[in-house]
Structure 1
Amino acid sequence: LREPGIDRSSDPLLWWGTNANRFPGLAAQARRHLCAPPSSVDSERTFSVAGSVANDNRSRL
């Protein structure tokens, strides 16, 4: 909590890259949660399921 904050325009992944040795556990979590997913399969699956639920044939649910 005593660490100074980073500027909003800076890249948090670069900050974690230089400070990972100081905070190894938090750096692993940051790597996991700040990175973009490698594919869009999950989001496409969600839209596909939503499209089959909300269509003209089932509009009277």
Structure 2
Amino acid sequence: KKGSGTLELMCHPGYCDETLAAASSYCREREEELHILMSPEFKDMLQGSGARLATYVGL
């Protein structure tokens, strides 16, 4: 049913620099996630779904 329940979206957005690249194999993927999360398409999808963003504390 639309509007009921909770969805947790786990992601690790970030910028890939030399320090992160040396510490993590998940470096370029972080930039891709950041790009997606900041995109107008993602914003439109969220607004169209009726989802409300919240923090863990806000739950």
Q: Is the TM value for this pair above 0.5? A: no
Which structure has the bigger radius of gyration?
A: 1
TM-score, scaled to structure 1: 0.30
TM-score, scaled to structure 2: 0.30
